[in-house]
């Protein structure tokens, strides 16, 4: 899991998160790395928080989720954050 302060930030109702994937810096045998950034309104910045597998342990009420136009990623986000 991430740092406890960042974990608390993610569990605030209405948190905004940004999910992005990259292929170019991913080490073998993996194909893609997914990172999760959460918005910190105190500083008005997005902070890299976690990798995708960490999200399975959190229950979040998000205001918005932003990701690129990768169909597999969009489907995974919809599955993980049903109702968002």
Residue-wise pLDDT for 13-22, tens only, equals: 777 878 787 7
Q: What is the DSSP letter of 7?
A: H
The string over 22-34, giving b where at least 16 C-beta atoms fall within 10 Å of a residue's C-beta and e elsewhere, is eeeeeeeeeeeeb
pTM equals 0.51
Q: Which sequence spans correspond to the domains of the chain?
A: 4-77
pLDDT in tens, 49-71: 665 545 555 566 777 777 777 78
């Amino acid at each position: 899991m991430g740092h406890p302060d960042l974990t608390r930030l993610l569990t605030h109702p209405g948190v905004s998160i940004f999910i992005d994937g990259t292929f170019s810096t991913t080490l073998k045998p993996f194909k893609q790395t997914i990172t999760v950034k959460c918005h910190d309104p105190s500083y008005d910045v997005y902070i890299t928080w976690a990798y995708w597998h960490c999200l399975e342990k959190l229950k979040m009420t998000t205001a918005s989720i932003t990701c690129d136009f990768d169909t597999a990623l969009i489907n995974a986000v919809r599955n993980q954050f049903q109702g968002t």
